[in-house]
Structure 1
Amino acid sequence: MNQTILKQYSILVEFLGKTLGPDYEVVLHDTKNYTNSIVAIANGHISGRTIGAPMTNFGLNVISDKSYKNCDYKLNYNGISKDQRILRSSTMFIKDENEELVGMLCINFDDRRYVDISNQILKLCHPDELVEQNSTYKSVNSIIDEAESFSGSIAEVTSTVLKKVLSDNNIPIDRLTQDERLRIVDILNQKGIFMLKGAVSEVAKQLHCSEPSIYRYLNKLQKYKED
């Protein structure tokens, strides 16, 4: 049944991509396959992704905390492309007859061309003040903590989330203690990173420890939860 639903939405991806035009990326995620999540994509040049790319940090969070159960979509939040452009993103949660999540339909709008045109028109009226007032762009650095990142590989997804965790907790990666590694693994686990196939290997590599160590941390966290 899930594949039938996704097949219908795959047609919608192609339709919307052609209808909306090249500034709108339309993406369909299979939420049962986190590692190769994208099953259809139109105008993928916007984020640089293709079919088979993994679930985003936003998607992993939604699945992990089950926030999709309380709503059908999320509108107009920030996304960041690989080349550090700010996109306006919206996601619809595709659910089956039991209200379980089977997919996500995402639209990412790149409004660069329209902002440039708008600013050029305003410059005809006033060279400075009106242009400054019209500019709604925030810098990438100012939104990176809250934005969805579009990654083309497990390594990129892991790195994006891990960098934010280290930054938020002011932890230097070059001299981590065992307790700090445990805390980092706990946060990454809560964010759904370990749902990705190969994530243990990537986290171990980026935390400069062994894969068995990561599994030991995960087992310890599970025991804490059960106690």
Structure 2
Amino acid sequence: MDKTILKQYTKLVEFLGKVLGPDYEIVLHDLTDKTYSIVAIANGHVSGRSVGAPLTNLGLKTIAMGSYKNSDYLINYNGASRTNRVLRSSTMFIKDNNEEIIGMLCINFDDSKYISISEDILKLCHPDELILQNSTYESINSILNEVPENFSESIGEVTETVLNKVLADKNIPIDRLTQDERLSIVDILNQKGIFMLKGAVSEVAKQLHCSEPSIYRYLSILNKDKNN
């Protein structure tokens, strides 16, 4: 049944991609396999992804936290392409008859050329100094630092994106992490849904400079604490 429901959206991806134009990326995620979740995509050049790419960090977090249960969509949030272009993104949650999430239909808009054009128009009537002092646009770096979603082509990229953010927040070098700090990081990654991806344990172990059995041990400890 789930596959039948999602199949109806495949043509919609193609249709919206042609109607909205090349600056709009349309993506269909099948959540049966979060590691290779993209089953249809139009204008993939916008984020640099293709069919078979994994679910994003925000998608994983949405499922892990159950955010979709009280909402049918999430609109107009910032995403970042693989080339660090800021995208305006929206996601519709596709649910089955039991209101469980089975897929996501996402639209990512690259408005960089329009921002550039608007700034060029402003320059016609204002000096550059005034534009720099009173610009209505935040700096790209500032937006990228706060962006909630990063579009990745592989499990390694998704894991690295989330892990780097966690380590930056803790301000601790990887080679100086204690066991308790590693346990805390694994807990955060687990809450963000990273371990729903096949191969995530191996990637996290590699990036935290520890063994896979250590990651499994941390997850076992966290599960016991949760059950208690």
TM-score tier after normalising by the smaller chain length: over 0.9
More helix by proportion, 1 or 2? 2
Partner of 1:112: 112
Query: How much identity, in percent, do the aligned residues show?
Result: 69
2 CA distance for matches of 1:184 and 1:108? 30
2 CA distance for matches of 1:42 and 1:132? 38
1:220 aligns with 2:224: no
Moved over 6 A (4+): none
2 CA distance for matches of 1:105 and 1:134? 33
Deviations 1:81-114 (A, max 9, x none): 1111111001011111111101111001001111
Residues 47 and 150 in structure 1, CA contact (< 8 A), matched pair in contact too: yes
Following superposition, the deviation at residue 131 of structure 1 comes to: 7.0
TM-score under structure 1 normalisation? 0.96
1:31 aligns with 2:31: yes
Following superposition, the deviation at residue 115 of structure 1 comes to: 1.1
2 CA distance for matches of 1:197 and 1:86? 28
Residues 73 and 92 in structure 1, CA contact (< 8 A), matched pair in contact too: yes
- SS at the partner of 2:74? strand
Following superposition, the deviation at residue 138 of structure 1 comes to: 3.2
- SS at the partner of 2:204? helix
- SS at the partner of 1:144? helix
Residues 80 and 140 in structure 1, CA contact (< 8 A), matched pair in contact too: no
Matches within 5 A, 1:60-71: 60-71=60-71
2 CA distance for matches of 1:142 and 1:2? 36
Following superposition, the deviation at residue 116 of structure 1 comes to: 1.4
Partner of 1:190: 191
Partner of 1:12: 12
Following superposition, the deviation at residue 134 of structure 1 comes to: 5.1
Q: In structure 2, do the counterparts of structure 1 residues 105 and 120 end up closer, same or farther at CA, with 3 Å as the change threshold?
A: same
Aligned pairs, number: 227
2 CA distance for matches of 1:145 and 1:121? 28
1 CA distance for matches of 2:217 and 2:132? 55
- SS at the partner of 1:156? helix
Letter aligned with residue 207 of structure 1: L
1 CA distance for matches of 2:152 and 2:137? 25
2 CA distance for matches of 1:134 and 1:7? 44
- SS at the partner of 2:29? strand
Deviates more, 1:49-58 or 1:164-173: 164-173
Partner of 1:51: 51
Matches within 5 A, 1:38-187: 38-128=38-128, 129-130=130-131, 133=134, 135-187=136-188
Partner of 2:205: 204
Following superposition, the deviation at residue 136 of structure 1 comes to: 1.9
Following superposition, the deviation at residue 133 of structure 1 comes to: 4.1
Residues 80 and 147 in structure 2, CA contact (< 8 A), matched pair in contact too: no
Q: In structure 2, do the counterparts of structure 1 residues 151 and 206 end up closer, same or farther at CA, with 3 Å as the change threshold?
A: same
Q: Point out where structure 2 has 5 or more consecutive residues left out of the alignment.
A: none
Q: Point out where structure 1 has 5 or more consecutive residues left out of the alignment.
A: none
Deviations 1:147-172 (A, max 9, x none): 20000000000000000111112222
- SS at the partner of 2:9? helix
